[in-house]
Amino acid sequence: MSHSSALRVADLWKSFASGQPVLRGVNLEVKPGTLTAVLGLSGCGKTTLLRVIAGFERAGMGSIYLGDRVLDDGHTYVRPERRGIGYVPQEGALFPHLTVQGNIAFGLSRHERRSDTVEELLQMVSLTHLAKRYPHQLSGGEQQRVALARSLARKPQVLLLDEPFSSLDASLRAAVREEVSTLLRSQGATTMLVTHDQEEALSLADSVAILRDGVIVQSGTPAELYRHPSDAALAGFLGAVNMVTASFHDGAADTPLGRLTLRANPAVSLGSGGIVMVRPEQISVSARPKSGGLRGEVTQCRYYGHDALLYIRPAEPVGQGVLIARVPGEGALPAGTHVSVTAHGPVFPLP
């Protein structure tokens, strides 16, 4: 990668023929050498945002900057090939008639092709042994690494990845994600990735921006978003959550699961009562009823090996019909088990 620059998007709007805006005042900054994930449901405008940043679409209103260069602001418009931005589309889009080597070399000058550049890129993505193969002879993960090497070959200042792992088998996805993340960090790449997969965004990115209906509703580190979501819909989008009724006294929440300490939320004025967010991993479940615990019955157990999700019907109302608890795999309990449920804080009050 060439010297990385910050990518900044300011008050970006984009509409298509229907006139309905797809992007509505997007503000975003990707700091040099970091990976930012833009996370959102299908149709929220993620790919459009990438295409406008890459220069394949013109901005309707607003500005895009790379370092101190204006790329698009309604007056200035820099063509895609002059932006210093690499773009990896969803399916990798390799040329089927070119070998791995040929795909990586595509777009390089004759001098660069003659030098060790292609060999270095092959080594970087661990594909030297497959240099002479064609795309149809590669696995999905290998194809993805070729597409990445081809983008890195031109030494972009910023790399854009459009749902790069969505076409891979679940078993491959985690391994390829890890490889790509390690590679990008070793290169000091400034990277923006769009995805609908919250696990991918939270595990890979330095910062995450949530795009909803063409607007970024919240951004921050993965931990900040998971612990302090701006609303209930976002809390549920970032992972399983329990919305539990509470009354507030002296900086604590009294809930059916016990008295829990509170995390501050400036958006919530703590009146007499409200809702707190309790993540499944904050809930403890015992098959031996405890004093002070909430009684309940397991209605379903989803076993994942390393852990399990228990769905528990509480004996008294808690604010939602069923509680979800995450327990270690060996703590999985069958449906019909009577249990005692407690929780530990801190919990986050939601507006």
Which residues 6+ apart lie within 8 Å of 138 measured at CB? 100, 130, 146
What would the mean pLDDT of 196-222 be, rounded to a whole number? 94
- Residue 62 clears pLDDT 50, i.e. is over it: yes
- Residue 24 clears pLDDT 50, i.e. is over it: yes
**Would you state the pLDDT for residue 168?**
78
SS3 of residue 242 by DSSP: strand
Could you give the CA distance from residue 277 to residue 56 in angstroms, rounded to a whole number? 41
**Would you state the pLDDT for residue 1?**
46
Closest CA to 230 of 66, 348, 334, 59: 348
pLDDT tens digit sequence for 271-287: 778 899 999 999 999 99
Predicted model pTM:
0.87
**Would you state the pLDDT for residue 19?**
82
Which residues 6+ apart lie within 8 Å of 63 measured at CB? 8, 9, 10, 11, 12, 70, 72, 73, 74
SS3 of residue 107 by DSSP: coil
% of residues, the chain, pLDDT over 90: 60
Q: What is the CA radius of gyration of the chain?
A: 24
Are the C-beta atoms of residues 47 and 87 closer than 8 Å to each other? no
- Residue 174 clears pLDDT 70, i.e. is over it: yes
First vs last Cα of the chain: how many Å apart?
43
What would the mean pLDDT of 152-173 be, rounded to a whole number? 84
What would the mean pLDDT of 65-75 be, rounded to a whole number? 93
**Would you state the pLDDT for residue 307?**
95
- Poorest-confidence range of 92-96, 243-247, 317-321? 92-96
What would the mean pLDDT of 132-155 be, rounded to a whole number? 86
Could you give the CA distance from residue 9 to residue 49 in angstroms, rounded to a whole number? 10
**Would you state the pLDDT for residue 309?**
97
**Would you state the pLDDT for residue 291?**
67
- Residue 3 clears pLDDT 60, i.e. is over it: no
Are the C-beta atoms of residues 138 and 129 closer than 8 Å to each other? no
- Residue 13 clears pLDDT 70, i.e. is over it: yes
Please give the single-letter amino acid code of residue 47: T
pLDDT bracket for residue 305 (50, 70, 90)? very high
Domains and CATH numbers, the chain: 7-227 (3.40.50.300), 240-350 (2.40.50.140)
pLDDT tens digit sequence for 85-135: 999 887 768 899 999 999 988 878 787 777 777 888 888 788 889 899 999
**Would you state the pLDDT for residue 288?**
82
Measured over the CA atoms of residue 231, residue 232, residue 237 and residue 241, the dihedral's sign is positive
- Residue 165 clears pLDDT 90, i.e. is over it: no
- Poorest-confidence range of 27-36, 268-277, 334-343? 268-277
**Would you state the pLDDT for residue 254?**
92
What would the mean pLDDT of 192-216 be, rounded to a whole number? 94
Q: Average model confidence (pLDDT) for the chain?
A: 90
